[in-house]
Amino acid sequence: MSENEISKIIIGCALVVHKQLGPGLLESAYKECLFYKLQQESLFVEKEKPMPLVFEDIKLECGYRIDLLVENKVVIELKSVESLTDVHLAQTLTYMKLGGYKLGLLINFNVALLKQGIKRVINGDLKH
């Protein structure tokens, strides 16, 4: 399954979660519910996946964690904030670069319409 096919399923599941829960909850609540919905779709999902930082010749365990990694291809960074910022985008891109992933979804559940809270993040060549 391609990154784009996976992302369509993720977005569909995120819409279901947002429709049922609405905005205003903690990020952790959305993470657990989205994790559950993605597993129902028979996708392989890792939650809080550790992401080491390699600097020169050493590997540092700095406590970086990807919120959700789907099918070892798509990074999902979840937020429940007033609005997404450049720092949130940079965080998602950093995880993608460290892991060599091509596609990420930055999802802010604290919005009235979820489509306003979803940002596709592309690292490198990704065919549409």
pLDDT per residue as tens digits for the range 65-91: 999 999 999 999 999 999 999 999 999
Question: Would you state the pLDDT for residue 125?
Answer: 62
Task: For residue 34, give its domain range.
Answer: 3-122
CA distance 74 to 86: 20
| Number of domains, the chain | 1
Question: Would you state the pLDDT for residue 72?
Answer: 97
Question: Would you state the pLDDT for residue 54?
Answer: 78
Report residues of the chain scoring pLDDT below 50: none
Question: Would you state the pLDDT for residue 98?
Answer: 86
Question: Would you state the pLDDT for residue 123?
Answer: 85
Asked if residue 52 belongs to a domain, the reply is: yes
